[in-house]
């Protein structure tokens, strides 16, 4: 099985977030806690579910990652786009990130 | 334009207040996500890949300049400075915070707008011909009936929890610009033998997983019977539509299952029970709604404008824009000007806040302050004097809004795809951009002629790929994006589904594949033919041979 991390959307603003090693949530994939086996993955998801009840995030789930030279990289296209934003070239107006 | 009465104002304000309370209860924990989700969806608020997405209704695609300015303001204040016009004539904002959503709805309510009927298993926002009220070929303004349907359907207690969502489209002209046969119900106005205007009723059209062209169940329905007949259709569907399987829940599955004739019989039987009752549309009520759509104060103008003709002769770029983007108006001396939201390499349907403001400003200076949204994800200024077209075009060009490609290959319909959408399997926008850049030569585009190209990022077909002359469907094969191609689809009054050409292409190959299709067409076409004519004559085979020659 590949390594896994947990992602969700933050309740208040919908921002993509990752469950970090300190059990907090980060908007940077680099901070994501990575599970090496199924038990660790299950534990991460259980922690995340607790934060659904605490109204921090919605819809947490596990996704596959690879850790290469210390950097976490999503394995699928969908999670790559969630992590780095739309892949499209900006073309209209001022798209300064408002965060 | 339709103006809210006190009832409408009060109702929308009430909805905003309710939603504000619901959001507060969600944030303080009184509502769980499962409880809250249907409530936010009833207010057009989805959770997508990167953030919440707010879909705002633009009933029958008609906007005032004041409303467009408010849409721009929302894009700037609450989003990242742009919005995305959709194939349902709505606008979507991609980067919305839940906390801001009640304020946004309140801002919309100030200008008689809302997000009602943009989600959920209800009768959705009714779509119409974007040239309604001004098209030279029109019988009657379909927005009158779209508005009547809106008033009947909004929060209709019996039809708020249908088996699945329900989409109605209406055209008042013989030329179908609203893709009515791709809708759950399509309405086409025409005259009967007595010279009376009424509707042809089509049901069971739809794209998605099971694409179906709608079938006519009644050739002619008098106008006063419109609501009772629609109610009869909805009742039959509400009772018999499948609620056990989401993929079989649309009305098209029911119509296919029982057959259009039997379905028509069931509707007629139900209709006999309710016809001539409370839903009857009296002529004075139709006239009352018609008065909201009364033509503006047109000037008496000559049919031809010598100044316009001279500008067209002396300025080839302007002449090119007129050829593709300007359409005949029903009043002499006026024209309909289409504003393409498809610049070469751009994101189909996206407009920046600045562009929205420019369009609002131009609508006031060169029209009567009205703007339309086309289901092809473009904008329309419906009432421009011929003599003003050149000045308008110059101002559009300054704003990057004068691409002369309406109805041509790069006027691509594309859904948000995997760059934004939770349902998508593959990206649409980068493919549209790649094809747009490949064909970034207006002379070549105009030579290629009328050709629609639609790209959906999943089987739900938001971008109507089945009815594009060239249809592209993104699929995910073992984690990699691939693109299936169909040819020969058509969305107008001769609606047809495209034929699958063969194995899918990778994202790297797809622009080449489109070019091969176009080259094959150009080799095969006879004088005067458009792509669809050639395709119907030669069929799939020549395209197949060229596309897969190297395989």
pLDDT at residue B550, as a whole number: 65
| Residue B40 near residue B101 (C-beta atoms within 8 A) | yes
Chain B hits for A97, CB-CB cut-off 8 Å, are 80
Q: For an interface test with B, which of A14, A66, A82 has the most B Cβ atoms less than 10 Å from its Cβ?
A: A14
Task: Please tell me the number of Cα atoms within 13 Å of B263 on its side-chain side.
Answer: 28
Distance from the Cα of B404 to chain A's closest Cα (Å) equals 18
- B366 in reach of chain A (CB within 8 A): no
Spacing of C-alpha B442 from chain mean position: 25
Strand partners, A62: A6
- C-alpha distances (whole Å) from B48 to each of A14, B93, B97, B424 are 8, 11, 11, 10
By Cβ distance, the residue of B51, B426, B480 closest to A14 is B51
Q: Do B33 and A77 touch (CB under 8 A)?
A: no
Q: Do B51 and A9 touch (CB under 8 A)?
A: yes
- B96 in reach of chain A (CB within 8 A): yes
Chain A hits for B346, CB-CB cut-off 8 Å, are 91-92
- Distance, CA of B364 to CA of B326 (rounded, Å): 18
By Cβ distance, the residue of B51, B80, B353 closest to A13 is B51
| Residue B268 near residue B221 (C-beta atoms within 8 A) | no
| Residue B462 near residue B450 (C-beta atoms within 8 A) | no
Q: Do A93 and B29 touch (CB under 8 A)?
A: no
Domain boundaries, chain B: 6-56+64-110, 134-292, 306-398, 413-547
- C-alpha distances (whole Å) from A31 to each of A78, B61, B386, B398 are 19, 45, 60, 44
- Distance, CA of B223 to CA of B340 (rounded, Å): 34
Q: CA B102, B107, B111: angle at the middle one, nearest 5?
A: 135
Q: Do A16 and B26 touch (CB under 8 A)?
A: no
Q: For an interface test with B, which of A17, A75, A78, A80 has the most B Cβ atoms less than 10 Å from its Cβ?
A: A78
- B357 in reach of chain A (CB within 8 A): no
What CATH topology corresponds to B306-398?
Sulfite Reductase Hemoprotein; domain 2 (3.90.480)
pLDDT at residue B447, as a whole number: 97
Q: Which of B184, B162, B174 is nearest to B263 (CA)?
A: B184
Q: Which of A14, A8, A21, A10 is nearest to A56 (CA)?
A: A10
Nearest chain A residue (CA) to B357:
A93
By Cβ distance, the residue of A58, A89, A93 closest to B345 is A89
Chain B hits for A61, CB-CB cut-off 8 Å, are none
Q: Do A13 and B29 touch (CB under 8 A)?
A: no
Q: Do A58 and B51 touch (CB under 8 A)?
A: no
Q: What is the CB neighbour count within 10 angstroms for residue A52?
A: 16
Chain B hits for A2, CB-CB cut-off 8 Å, are none
- Distance, CA of B146 to CA of B156 (rounded, Å): 15
The dihedral region occupied by B79, where left means phi > 0, alpha psi between -120 and 50, and beta the remainder, is beta
- B39 in reach of chain A (CB within 8 A): no
CATH for the stretch B6-56+64-110: 3.90.480.20
- C-alpha distances (whole Å) from B467 to each of B229, B352, B471 are 28, 28, 7
Nearest chain B residue (CA) to A10:
B51
Chain B hits for A89, CB-CB cut-off 8 Å, are 345, 430, 433
The domain B134-292 is placed in CATH, from the list 2.60.40.1930, 3.40.190.10, 3.40.640.10, 3.30.413.10, at 3.30.413.10
B389, exposed or middle or buried, with CB in 10 Å at 0-12, 13-18, 19+? buried
Q: Do B345 and A97 touch (CB under 8 A)?
A: no
Which contiguous run of DSSP H or E holds residue B324? helix B316-325
Q: CA B167, B172, B176: angle at the middle one, nearest 5?
A: 70
Q: Do B27 and A89 touch (CB under 8 A)?
A: no
Nearest chain A residue (CA) to B476:
A77
Distance from the Cα of B117 to chain A's closest Cα (Å) equals 22
Q: What is the pLDDT along chain A (99 residues), one digit of tens a residue?
A: 799 999 999 999 999 999 999 999 999 999 999 999 999 999 999 999 999 999 999 999 999 999 998 899 999 999 999 999 999 855 443 333 333
What is the phi/psi pair of residue A66, to 5°? -125, 145
| Residue B491 near residue B179 (C-beta atoms within 8 A) | yes
Cα separation of the two ends of chain A: 35
Q: What does the DSSP assignment read for B129-194?
A: -TTTTTBTT-SS-THHHHHHHHHHHTT-GGGSS-SS-B-EEEESSSS--S-GGGSSEEEEEEE-TT
Chain A hits for B427, CB-CB cut-off 8 Å, are 77, 81, 87-88
- Tell me which residue has tokens 């209406």: B170
Q: What is the pLDDT along chain B (551 residues), one digit of tens a residue?
A: 677 777 888 999 999 999 999 999 999 999 999 999 999 999 999 999 999 999 999 999 999 999 999 999 999 999 999 999 999 999 999 999 999 999 999 999 999 999 999 999 999 999 999 999 999 999 999 999 999 999 999 989 999 999 999 999 999 999 999 999 999 999 999 999 999 999 999 999 999 999 999 999 999 999 999 999 999 999 999 999 999 999 999 999 999 999 999 999 999 999 999 999 999 999 999 999 999 999 999 999 999 999 999 999 999 999 999 999 999 999 999 999 999 999 998 999 999 999 999 999 999 999 999 999 999 999 999 999 999 999 999 999 999 999 999 999 999 999 999 999 999 999 999 999 999 999 999 999 999 999 999 999 999 999 999 999 999 999 999 989 999 999 999 999 999 999 999 999 999 999 999 999 999 999 999 999 999 999 999 999 999 999 998 65
- C-alpha distances (whole Å) from B285 to each of B107, B149, B171 are 31, 13, 20
* Fold: same for B6-56+64-110 and B134-292: no
- Distance, CA of B156 to CA of B413 (rounded, Å): 32
CATH for the stretch B413-547: 3.30.413.10
- Distance, CA of B347 to CA of B415 (rounded, Å): 10
Model confidence pTM above 0.90: yes
Q: For an interface test with A, which of B36, B80, B416 has the most A Cβ atoms less than 10 Å from its Cβ?
A: B80
Structure-token pair, residue B2: 């339709």
- Note the residue count of chain B: 551
């Amino acid at each position: 099985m590949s390594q896994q991390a947990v992602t969700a959307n933050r309740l208040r603003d919908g921002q993509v977030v990752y469950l970090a090693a300190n059990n907090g949530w980060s908007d940077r994939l680099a901070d994501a806690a990575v599970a090496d086996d199924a038990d660790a993955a299950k534990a991460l998801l259980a922690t995340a579910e607790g934060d659904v009840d605490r109204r921090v995030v919605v819809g947490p789930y596990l996704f596959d990652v690879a850790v290469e030279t210390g950097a976490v990289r999503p394995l699928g296209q969908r999670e790559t786009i969630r992590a780095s934003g739309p892949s499209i070239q900006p073309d209209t107006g001022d798209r300064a990130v408002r965060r | 334009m339709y103006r809210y009465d006190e009832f409408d104002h009060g109702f929308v304000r009430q909805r905003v207040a309710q939603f504000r309370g619901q959001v507060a209860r969600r944030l303080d924990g009184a509502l769980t996500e499962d409880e809250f989700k249907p409530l936010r969806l009833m207010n057009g608020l989805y959770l997508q890949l990167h953030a919440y997405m707010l879909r705002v209704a633009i009933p029958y695609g008609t906007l005032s300049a004041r409303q467009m300015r408010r849409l721009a303001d929302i894009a700037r204040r609450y989003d990242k400075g742009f919005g995305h016009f959709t194939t349902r004539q709505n606008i979507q904002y991609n980067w919305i915070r839940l906390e801001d959503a009640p304020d946004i709805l309140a801002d919309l309510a100030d200008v008689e707008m809302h997000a009602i009927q943009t989600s959920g298993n209800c009768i959705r926002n009714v779509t119409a011909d974007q040239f309604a009220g001004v098209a030279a070929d029109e019988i009657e303004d379909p927005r009158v009936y779209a508005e009547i349907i809106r008033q009947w359907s909004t929060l209709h207690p019996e039809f708020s929890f249908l088996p699945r969502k329900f989409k109605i489209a209406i055209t008042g002209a013989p030329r179908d610009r609203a893709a009515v046969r791709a809708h759950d119900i399509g309405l086409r106005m025409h005259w009967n033998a007595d010279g009376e205007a009424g509707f042809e009723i089509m049901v069971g059209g739809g794209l998605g997983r099971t694409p179906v062209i709608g079938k006519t169940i009644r050739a002619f329905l008098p106008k006063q019977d419109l609501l009772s007949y629609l109610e009869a259709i909805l009742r039959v569907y509400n009772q018999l539509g499948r609620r056990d399987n989401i993929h079989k829940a649309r009305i098209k599955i029911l119509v296919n299952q029982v057959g259009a004739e039997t379905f028509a019989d069931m509707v007629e039987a139900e209709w006999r029970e309710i016809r001539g009752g409370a839903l009857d549309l009296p002529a004075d009520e139709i006239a009352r709604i018609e008065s909201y759509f009364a033509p503006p104060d047109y000037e008496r103008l000559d049919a031809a404008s010598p100044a316009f003709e001279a500008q067209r002769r002396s300025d080839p770029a302007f002449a090119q824009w007129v050829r593709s983007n300007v359409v005949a108006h029903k009043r002499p001396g006026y024209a309909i000007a289409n504003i393409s939201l498809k610049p070469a390499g751009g994101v189909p349907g996206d407009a920046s806040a600045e562009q929205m403001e420019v369009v609002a400003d131009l609508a006031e200076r060169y029209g009567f302050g009205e703007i339309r949204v086309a289901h092809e994800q473009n904008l329309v200024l419906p009432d421009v004097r011929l003599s003003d077209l050149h000045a308008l075009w110059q101002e559009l060009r300054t704003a990057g809004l004068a691409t002369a490609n309406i109805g041509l290959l790069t006027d691509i319909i594309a859904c948000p795809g995997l760059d934004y959408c939770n349902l998508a399997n593959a990206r649409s926008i980068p493919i549209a951009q790649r094809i747009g850049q490949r064909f970034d030569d207006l002379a070549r585009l105009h030579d290629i002629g009328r050709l629609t190209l639609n790209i959906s990022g999943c089987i739900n077909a938001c971008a109507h790929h089945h009815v594009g002359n060239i249809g592209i469907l993104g699929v995910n094969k073992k984690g990699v994006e691939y693109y299936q191609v169909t040819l020969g689809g058509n969305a107008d009054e001769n609606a047809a589904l495209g034929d699958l050409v063969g194995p899918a292409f990778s994202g790297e190959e797809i622009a080449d594949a489109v070019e091969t299709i176009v080259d094959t067409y150009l080799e095969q076409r006879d004088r005067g033919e458009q792509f669809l004519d050639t395709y119907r004559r030669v069929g799939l085979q020549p395209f197949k041979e060229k596309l897969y020659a190297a395989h």
